[in-house]
Amino acid sequence: MIKKYILENKISPKNFDWYHHESEKGEYLFYINPIWPVGTVSKDKIEDSEMREKIKKNIGTDAKKDYIYIKDINSRRVTVAFRANRWLKDNFLKDPKVTYKFPRSLEWKWRKSLPLIIMKKVPWKTFEKFIEKEFKQFLKENQKRLFKDKFKILKKVNYNWFIYEVDLDRNKFIVKMKYSVMILLYKAAKLGVESLK
């Protein structure tokens, strides 16, 4: 039975168990546990380079894209990372598709889909919080460039005034001004007009 896992006198994992996820410095990490045949010792295991190729095959087409890469690899654990900032830049840094929805929302349509491996392997609620946070940070860091031609007022706003949502079904981010902020801005504007009378 064990012979079918032997390749050039080295043993390959029977399978790969995706067992944990977390975020770290703008990347979303996936941890993979190689499942080895019982009794396999370190010296008989395939080399890391061959393991890397097997992981890429396990990941599928996402492995060919720039957003997903193998960050760390050994016979006990493999770490695969999603580069959120690179994905956000490709989607929004140049001529973003932004639509204003009255009275308080901007919708940011994606050009590039999220990697399929995220849809398959990640609990959506966990990833949702991560990607919303990263999108907010991306807007803050690139606000002068993003709002150079359109929505110029947003070059100077406080980004804590907004709620950030991701809509997976429609491939977009939705940025909504908080109602409490709208009311305060309305009152401030009204007081400013009245003071001129």
Spatial CB neighbours of 136, under 8 Å, sequence gap ≥ 6: 159, 162, 164
- Identify the weakest region by mean pLDDT among 38-47, 83-92, 116-125, 176-185: 176-185
What are 43's two structure tokens?
């010296």
User: pTM score > 0.75 for this model?
Assistant: yes
Tell me the pLDDT tens digit for each residue of 55-100.
Answer: 998 888 888 888 999 999 999 999 999 999 999 999 999 888 989 8
**Band of residue 155 on the pLDDT scale cut at 50, 70, 90:** low
b/e per residue 38-50 (b: at least 16 CB within 10 A) = eebeeeebbeeee
Q: What angle do CA 55, 2, 56 make, to 5 degrees?
A: 5
**pLDDT of res. 109:** 96
